[in-house]
A and B are shown apart, each in its own frame.
Chain A
Amino acid sequence: MKGGHFITVAGFTAVAILRICFACYAVAADSSARQPDGARGAVIAAQGVGTGVPACAQCHAFNGGSDGTGAFPRIAGQPVQYLVAQLRDFASGVRSNAVMSPVAKALSSDDLAEVAAYYANTSAPFLPLKAADQTLVKRGEQLATFGDESKQLQSCNNCHGPGGAGEPPTIPYLAGQYAHYTAFELQMWKRGYRKNSPEAMLQIAKKLDDRDIQAVAAYFQQVLGSSQAATMTKE
């Protein structure tokens, strides 16, 4: 994606010349609603809202990097539209999680937009993490980059971008995401608990066996930041 020749919109590639057009469109589409600036979102992230919405930072950290357990996803800098969609899906039950569902339900529509806007604009360092088995990472790289013809399985990067960099506004980055989280979500799709993206992620997850899931998760975790950590761990 170097050089900015393309922007991608929900997997749709467009020329840079469109940036202006699309920006106009986005503004026009949202002009009826108040523009979230993320400032109030930061307060919600730090302190929560009244009852029912604890501080997001408790799990995701104030910078959106979460912690090294991988129990909570890294959300720093994810596209705002993606974050809003996930919160709405948690609220509606299309996506289900014992912690996130009640939180998302308790958020007002405005607060939801605010907190999404806040985390979309944060950046967080990549924590030093234990290196995964290199054979597993290699298999993950193969699936991420090329897919697997024997399973009629396309590459992850077709939609998630080169190296899993993300394809805003709807497709999240996977680069540097915690392996534990990525693997868990793929299992949720595969087993039918996660119901958003039935046309794409459900179909793909069904073609992945448990080792494939471990492999892609391990690969994407080490794409950003963790390679240095991996070397350090070895030494």
Chain B
Amino acid sequence: MAERLKPVDVVTIGVGLTGSLSALELARTGLKVVGLERGAARFTVPDFQSPAIHDELRFSIRKGMMQDNVKEAVTFRNSSDETALPIRRWESFLPGTGLGGAFVHWNGQTFRFQIADFIYKTHIEQRYGKEILDPELTIQDWGVTYAELEPHYDRFEYLCGVSGKAGNIKGQIQPGGNPLEAPRAREYPTPPMKEPYFAALFRKGAESLGYHPYPQPSSNLSQPYTNTEGLRLEQCVFCGFCERYACEHYAKASPQTIVLPKLLAMPNYELRTNCQVLRINLDSTGKMATGVTYADGSGREFEQPAQLVLITAFPLNNVRMLLLSGIGKPYDPKTREGVVGRNYSYQTTGGPTVFMDESININPFMASGANGTMIDDFSGDNFDHGPLGFIGGQYVGAIMTNGRPIEFHPTPPETPKWGLKWKQAVAAHYNHTILIQQHGTSTASRLNYLDLDPTYKDAWGLPLLRMTFDFPENDIRMSQYIADRVVEIGRAMGGKTVVRGGTRRPYTTTAYQSTHNAGGAVMGDDPKTSVVNRYLQCWDVPNVFSIGGSAIPQNGAYNYTGTIGALTYWALDAIKNQYLKSPGPLVHA
């Protein structure tokens, strides 16, 4: 029997990006907030210091910062007529665990989505007509607009100290920035990162073809910065251990650097680590949460009563928590009814490898997680899709995040996979190869969804999340079209050999693609097609909010952290200024 604890005002399930931002906002209103984190506590000092943090085997290969899939895996299949099996080793996507969550091991690539992304269905149908959509696609509007989110994007960027160059300030195009971006209120908090040589070569190649290169916005900072919470970030030193690692230099925005020192100092906030939330408890009506039940590291169960429950886990786990708690109707792909698990979407990634002449020295080990030059000419709806017969797009850029010894050894296609010839090819090409990213949309489809697995259970005896996913044909056509354009850029950069990229079916979980798992508990204006309303409040249980990437109805072209930050501030604004004054549904369907 679970031990019943003293009631509190707010519980957050997970203490990562959304959990720490939410807790700080609500603790400031005087509420008693408890953060339940399934993983361990960890801080820049002593946990992230060199040389231990630069252990590639531990963190990159053995996924030392990720959800423990011995205890808690995800099962996967490509389509609903297959049997899903547990993913025993994370490769395709990397859900983080531990204090700070995935916002610790991220790369710092900090974008905004486009205006059209938020009104996607309306926009696409207006511009192209419904005929452009394949019948299985289930795109929809978000219920919130870019203009509404802009101040929250701005606030989040100034919290992180993002290094970048604005391309559009209040409608005025800015030289040096991205002319295709949505208007922003002001310049980035810090100037862009220095442009590496590989990125300069990309700029030259892209410009020669008439595209619009700009510096990638980065939350690994170009210079020291004191953020809006008064916390200090340092300058990135290009150590090349960013994604899959934590920053030892206080140079990357993470809960540890931008929020936690303030939050943990508040007397009305309590962090509890190694606490695995098993379910959200509902009252007898099923329309009100009474709190959560969790197990601590020794397996003892506790019931933590709370007035307000925020699901602030990794997006996949937000969906699982709703399913485990019986909140919202689970999606059924046969009847197409139900909402929880519906519109799970991913991202299309993978660009060409450009082999340069041996006189071109790339020095890929001098790297940062978000330090490249890119173009938005093929991103989202920035180009005319009318004659092309697909929707969506990709940003394209020379973004090289590392030259680490185990992971980075590009070789041309004809090279043997092992042995002396392979070694010779690695030595010949290591310092003369440029990777170009194609990174883009993945369109929601009625065939792709998340539900509870009927067979496999976690260490606490609860069903695992089951993922049913393959890339819609639309996304393949989009990615392959752009792959041809990017090969042209590779050649314009002076590539001797350009190995074409682009996404193909079937989707496989055995190669890294993206950790931007999106949707499954999507936001919207209609309870028939969304789990949460425009303020991320559950339609069915109004004192539960599901915050994060799970709310994204279909994925945009960009890395979604900036958008998650903006959505979090947007939701918290509504909670503070509307919900707390008058608890109950903020939108009446």
A residues whose Cβ falls under 8 Å from a Cβ of B: 5-6, 9-15, 17-18, 20-22, 25, 28, 145-149, 152-155, 157-159, 162, 199-200, 203
Residue among B44, B46, B239, B249 making CB contact with A12, cutoff 8 Å: B239
Task: Kindly list chain B residues whose C-beta atoms are within 8 Å of the C-beta of A146.
Answer: 45-46, 49
Task: Tell me whether B111 is interfacial, beta carbon within 8 Å.
Answer: no
Residue among B49, B223, B231, B361 making CB contact with A154, cutoff 8 Å: B49
What is the minimal beta-carbon distance from A15 to any residue of chain B, in angstroms?
4
Given A13-B54, A18-B431, verify A155-B235 contact (CB < 8 Å). no
Given A147-B45, A154-B49, A158-B49, verify A14-B427 contact (CB < 8 Å). no
Task: Kindly list chain A residues whose C-beta atoms are within 8 Å of the C-beta of B249.
Answer: 154, 158
Task: Tell me whether B232 is interfacial, beta carbon within 8 Å.
Answer: yes
Residue interface bits B530-551, CB-to-A below 8 A is 1, else 0: 0000000000000000000000
Task: Kindly list chain B residues whose C-beta atoms are within 8 Å of the C-beta of A148.
Answer: 45
Residue interface bits B401-416, CB-to-A below 8 A is 1, else 0: 0011100000000000
Would you call A13 and B44 a contact (CB within 8 A)? Answer: no
Residue interface bits B14-46, CB-to-A below 8 A is 1, else 0: 000000000000000000000000000001111
Q: How far is the CA of A174 from the CA of B403 in the complex (A)?
A: 27
Would you call A149 and B44 a contact (CB within 8 A)? Answer: yes
Residue among A13, A20, A153, A162 making CB contact with B45, cutoff 8 Å: A153
B residues whose Cβ falls under 8 Å from a Cβ of A: 43-46, 49-51, 54, 223-224, 231-232, 234-235, 237-241, 248-250, 257, 261, 361, 363, 365-367, 403-405, 426-427, 430-431
Lowest 4 A-B CB distances belong to which pairs?
A: A15-B405, A149-B45, A14-B365, A146-B46
What is the minimal beta-carbon distance from A205 to any residue of chain B, in angstroms?
13
Task: Kindly list chain B residues whose C-beta atoms are within 8 Å of the C-beta of A157.
Answer: 49-51
Would you call B232 and A200 a contact (CB within 8 A)? Answer: no
Would you call B49 and A21 a contact (CB within 8 A)? Answer: no
Chain B residue with minimal CB distance to A207? B232
Residue among B51, B367, B430 making CB contact with A162, cutoff 8 Å: B51
Would you call B224 and A155 a contact (CB within 8 A)? Answer: no
Q: How far is the CA of A149 from the CA of B44 in the complex (A)?
A: 7
Task: Kindly list chain A residues whose C-beta atoms are within 8 Å of the C-beta of B405.
Answer: 5-6, 14-15, 17
Would you call B365 and A18 a contact (CB within 8 A)? Answer: yes
Chain B residue with minimal CB distance to A199? B235
Would you call B427 and A11 a contact (CB within 8 A)? Answer: no
Residue among A5, A13, A155, A200 making CB contact with B365, cutoff 8 Å: A13
Q: How far is the CA of A9 from the CA of B50 in the complex (A)?
A: 15
The tally of CB-CB contacts under 8 A between chains A and B is: 98
What is the minimal beta-carbon distance from A144 to any residue of chain B, in angstroms?
10
Chain B residue with minimal CB distance to A143? B45
Task: Kindly list chain B residues whose C-beta atoms are within 8 Å of the C-beta of A155.
Answer: 45, 49-50, 248
Q: How far is the CA of A21 from the CA of B405 in the complex (A)?
A: 14
Given A21-B431, A149-B46, A158-B249, verify A9-B235 contact (CB < 8 Å). no
Would you call A12 and B240 a contact (CB within 8 A)? Answer: yes
Would you call A149 and B43 a contact (CB within 8 A)? Answer: yes
Q: How far is the CA of A145 from the CA of B45 in the complex (A)?
A: 10
Would you call A152 and B231 a contact (CB within 8 A)? Answer: yes
Task: Kindly list chain A residues whose C-beta atoms are within 8 Å of the C-beta of B45.
Answer: 146-149, 153-155
Task: Kindly list chain A residues whose C-beta atoms are within 8 Å of the C-beta of B257.
Answer: 152
Task: Kindly list chain A residues whose C-beta atoms are within 8 Å of the C-beta of B239.
Answer: 11-13
Given A14-B403, A18-B431, verify A9-B366 contact (CB < 8 Å). yes
Task: Kindly list chain B residues whose C-beta atoms are within 8 Å of the C-beta of A11.
Answer: 237-239
Q: How far is the CA of A141 from the CA of B540 in the complex (A)?
A: 56
Q: How far is the CA of A80 from the CA of B286 in the complex (A)?
A: 72
Q: How far is the CA of A201 from the CA of B404 in the complex (A)?
A: 26
Would you call A20 and B240 a contact (CB within 8 A)? Answer: no
Would you call A199 and B223 a contact (CB within 8 A)? Answer: yes
| A–B pairs, 21, beta carbons within 8 Å | A6-B405, A12-B237, A12-B366, A12-B367, A13-B54, A14-B403, A14-B405, A15-B365, A17-B427, A18-B403, A21-B361, A22-B363, A28-B361, A152-B231, A155-B49, A155-B248, A158-B248, A199-B223, A199-B234, A200-B234, A203-B224
Chain A residue with minimal CB distance to B427? A17
Q: How far is the CA of A7 from the CA of B241 in the complex (A)?
A: 15
Would you call A152 and B431 a contact (CB within 8 A)? Answer: no
Chain A residue with minimal CB distance to B232? A152
Would you call A25 and B431 a contact (CB within 8 A)? Answer: yes
Would you call B426 and A17 a contact (CB within 8 A)? Answer: yes
Would you call A152 and B430 a contact (CB within 8 A)? Answer: no
Q: How far is the CA of A162 from the CA of B427 in the complex (A)?
A: 27
What is the minimal beta-carbon distance from B49 to any residue of chain A, in angstroms?
5
Chain A residue with minimal CB distance to B431? A21
- With A17-B427, A155-B50 already in contact, 17 other A-B pairs whose C-beta atoms are closer than 8 Å: A5-B405, A11-B238, A12-B240, A12-B363, A14-B405, A17-B405, A18-B365, A21-B431, A25-B431, A146-B46, A149-B43, A152-B257, A155-B248, A158-B49, A158-B248, A158-B249, A200-B234
